[in-house]
Amino acid sequence: MPCDRQRRCSQVLGYDHWRFIERASSQVRPLPRIGVGLRAPHYQEFLNSHPPVDWLEVHTENYLGPGGKDLHILRRLAQRYPISLHGVGLGIGSVHGFSSAHVERIRVLAADVSPFLISEHLSWGAVEGRCLNDLLPLPLVEASLDLICDRVDQVQATLGQQLLLENISTSLRYNGDTLGESQFLAEVAARTGSAVLLDLNNLYVNQYNHGECAHAAMENLSRGTVGEFHLAGHSHAEDLLIDDHGSPVPEPVWSLYRRALRRFGPVPVLVEWDTRLPPLSELIDQVEIARTIAREVLDDA
């Protein structure tokens, strides 16, 4: 459960996403709520029926316009499912490309669909006047830490809601890094009252690409710091793994999921699948695997 600072921050901001977790934890079996990403090819199935998922994540930037079909469908589905806004374009670590106007547009969308979670990536992606359209790694140093904490404070103050920051997958690290990524995220959470979106596939990808121990990374994060898990697949490219979200969750990531459940408890879980999108039924199969694992792990806890 959240630390006192995170709870106080949520109360001050007027929103507490941990209530969603606590409702799950109050069941006889404290199971996580498990969701999927809402993607356009699956719109009609969600509108016509009620697929058995607990919540839906959308990429925030796809719904920032003032109208249109996508926003109309999101509004309808927000009446049936809790919604998470997952940003890919804020570039919170961009020194010169960060946009307060972008944050304001997120605030307007959040006021419209009342998301229980709002998240972004620990990355940068812009220079002044130009968006590089990627999630680029930050130098993990004190200067970056100060910048990110200031930005998180700005975003949370504008949104009136806690922000979750996700660890990213990378193909490189900076030689001058003085902090590990999970240490960095833990410090941001401690200073700002934000939380961590722990992407378990990204942990595994970075373990393969850089030799960073995924288990050690988890040990840097306390139970109350992590507010969500992501599960996804990856692909091989020569001597690297690529976090492409284009295949079922592989066994090494399921293994990390088991460990994460034991350490952090039943926080919300998302099954990500963005490229080579399968039928919705295959996504539901992944959700059921995640539920089965959670029952096995948490019943033994």
DSSP summary character for residue 92: T
What's the angle, vertex CA 94, arms to CA 185 and CA 99, rounded to 5?
A: 110
The CATH code of domain 4-300 reads 3.20.20.150
Distance (Å, rounded) from C-alpha 191 to C-alpha 112? 29
Among residues 240, 233, 242, the alpha carbon closest in space to that of 277 is found at: 233
Among residues 112, 100, 228, 96, the alpha carbon closest in space to that of 162 is found at: 228
At 260, list the tokens.
């994460």
Instruction: Report pTM.
Output: 0.89
Tens of pLDDT along the chain (301 residues)?
A: 455 544 544 443 444 544 555 554 444 568 999 999 999 999 999 999 999 999 999 999 999 998 899 999 999 999 999 999 999 989 999 998 889 999 999 999 999 999 999 999 999 787 776 777 778 889 999 999 999 999 999 999 999 999 999 999 887 888 999 999 999 999 999 999 999 999 999 999 999 988 899 999 999 999 999 999 999 998 888 888 878 888 999 999 999 999 999 999 999 999 999 999 999 999 999 999 999 999 999 988 6
Distance (Å, rounded) from C-alpha 65 to C-alpha 62? 8
Strand partners, 235: 242
Distance (Å, rounded) from C-alpha 4 to C-alpha 197? 19
**pLDDT score, position 134:** 74
At 112, list the tokens.
């419209």
**pLDDT score, position 136:** 80
Q: What is the DSSP string of 210-224?
A: H---HHHHHHTS-GG
On the 0-12 / 13-18 / 19+ scale of CB atoms within 10 A, 141 is: middle
Judge contact between 132 and 166, C-beta under 8 A: no
The end-to-end CA distance of the chain, in Å, is: 15
Judge contact between 137 and 123, C-beta under 8 A: yes
At 284, list the tokens.
């539901």
- Residue 260's contacts (CB-CB under 8 Å, 6 or more residues apart) are 198, 200, 218, 226, 229
Backbone region of residue 245 per phi and psi (left: phi > 0; alpha: psi in -120 to 50; beta: other values): left
What's the angle, vertex CA 69, arms to CA 53 and CA 233, rounded to 5?
A: 40
**pLDDT score, position 128:** 74
Distance (Å, rounded) from C-alpha 55 to C-alpha 263? 23
Output the CA torsion sign for 63, 69, 75, 79: negative
CA distances from 296 to 25, 95, 125, 300 (A): 15, 45, 40, 6
Helix (H) or strand (E) holding 125: strand 124-127
3-state DSSP assignment of residue 124: strand
On the 0-12 / 13-18 / 19+ scale of CB atoms within 10 A, 38 is: buried
CA atoms within 13 A on the CB side of 96: 6
Judge contact between 75 and 112, C-beta under 8 A: yes
Domain ranges of the chain: 4-300
